Amino acid sequence: MSTDFQLEVYQNEYLPEGAREVNAIVTVSSSGGTAEVAGPAAEVIIVDCSGSMHVPPTKLRAAKDATIAAIDTLRDGVAFAVVAGTDTARVVYPLRVALVEANATTRAEAKQAVSALRANGGTAMGQWLQVADTLFLSRPGAMKHAILLTDGQNMHETPRQLARILKAVTGHFVCDCRGVGTDWQVNELREIATTLLGTVDIVAEPDGLEADFRAMAASAMGKAVGDVALRLWTPQGATVKFVKQVEPTLTDLTARRVESAPRSGDYPTGSWGTESRDYHVCIQVSPAGVGEKMLAGRVSMVVPATNEVLGKGQVLAIWTDDTVLSTKISPEVAHYTGQAELASAIQEGLEARKAGDVETATAKLGKAVALATQSGHEDTAKLLARVVDIEDAATGTVRLKRSVSTVDEMTLDTRSTVTKRVGKTSES
């Protein structure tokens, strides 16, 4: 494997007598992910071509320019296709349900096809994803990535239909989602992106699309190894309470576990290039006696298809009657627990605001301000300041603004799951 993985575990391994819960932050860093060493890759760009993309006309024009920029970013040999999404899904390049390899000729043909796109029809995102999945089937060993752009809500499918398709395509490819304008639903795109291990963001103005598409395509081209899983082994009598990615974004992987061996399970993490991510692992164990030490978990990064182990780490537990040792909180665990609370407070506060529950909205968004201030999450604090008037940031004393733009509200909601990395200070 050309990509090297290193695992560092941050925790307070000392537990008070009788304690059962072991928490650890696992930092996974990979290096060596470059275009020169990358394996085969496949890319599908899905462009919303529903009727609303004509309002204003600059929206579809910007989407075309962004798609062309993404096509230009694909390296030679990458298999790709472009899909126009309406209440159905149509492969606009190539002119068949297939992928073609990127080169000067196919890029030029694809860009010409994109330039001819017209907006007309409805929105059925599940069908878009289904066609992407069909396209990817011809490249079983490739790192598969899709970009999905929409400006509206999934009006021509029921939530149940979308959920069924998402379940069917889960684990097959990574999908980054972007919503342009303010007529789409954050929860809808977040569900797609989270399920397919991608990102979600708002592009408030169409002229911001091109740079965003180019960045997403470039990131996909920088991946060197695909379908990597976090494998967690736990001892007899232990149970996994949760496994969550906590940086760069919050994603709960707990329900995504696939049993790999007795007392071992794999949690999907998608494709990797040169990057670093943090995971929060929480394990419940049977308490041991004072002074006893236990291997509470063994964490490794693996390629499940081949069982190749890319890196390893250990989660430990030592029971003590020394309260100085057992009451010390790992700063990494505390930080990311606070980041999860911050995301929940923002989302619950915005929901309460929409429902007209001023008291709950004020309390939740005030808590969010305090948490953002404590954790040094300046970006989130600035977004919160567009939704509430802050009287005292440290205590979270706020008042709801009388008038808030939809863009500001949706931006805060969309980026609530983007986390800030903590400075590592504890012993691993």
Alpha-carbon distance 393 to 338, whole Å? 16
Q: 16 in helix, strand or coil? A: strand
Q: 185 in helix, strand or coil? A: coil
Which residue numbers in the chain have pLDDT < 50?
Answer: 1, 35, 425-428
Q: Which two tokens stand for residue 121?
A: 């029809």
Alpha-carbon distance 194 to 396, whole Å? 29
Strand partners, 201: 178
* Amino acid occupying residue 119: A
Say what the pLDDT of residue 412 is.
98
Residues of the chain with CATH 3.40.50.410: 41-221
Task: Tell me how long the chain is.
Answer: 428
* Amino acid occupying residue 263: R
Say what the pLDDT of residue 39 is.
74
Alpha-carbon distance 288 to 316, whole Å? 12
Alpha-carbon distance 75 to 258, whole Å? 33
Alpha-carbon distance 121 to 155, whole Å? 11
Handedness of CA 182, 391, 368, 212 (dihedral sign): positive
CATH number for the domain whose boundaries are 41-221: 3.40.50.410
Alpha-carbon distance 117 to 60, whole Å? 8
Strand partners, 277: 28
CATH fold, domain 332-417, is Four Helix Bundle (Hemerythrin (Met), subunit A) (1.20.120)
Select from 274, 266, 280 the least CA-distant residue to 229.
Answer: 266
| Most distant pair of Cα atoms in the chain: their distance | 72
Asked if 13 and 318 touch (Cβ cutoff 8 Å), the reply is yes
Q: 427 in helix, strand or coil? A: coil
User: Using the 8-state DSSP alphabet, how is residue 98 labeled?
Assistant: S
Say what the pLDDT of residue 2 is.
57
Residues of the chain with CATH 2.60.40.3670: 4-32+225-327
Looking up tokens 């007392």 gives: 263
Q: Which CATH number fits domain 4-32+225-327: 2.60.40.10, 3.90.330.10, 2.60.40.3670, 3.40.1360.10?
A: 2.60.40.3670
Asked if 243 and 280 touch (Cβ cutoff 8 Å), the reply is yes
User: Angle CA(286)–CA(292)–CA(294) in degrees, nearest 5?
Assistant: 55
Say what the pLDDT of residue 354 is.
95
Alpha-carbon distance 191 to 159, whole Å? 11
Backbone angles phi, psi at 100, to 5 degrees: -125, 155
Select from 219, 351, 318 the least CA-distant residue to 274.
Answer: 219
Alpha-carbon distance 383 to 23, whole Å? 30
Residues of the chain with CATH 1.20.120.1690: 332-417
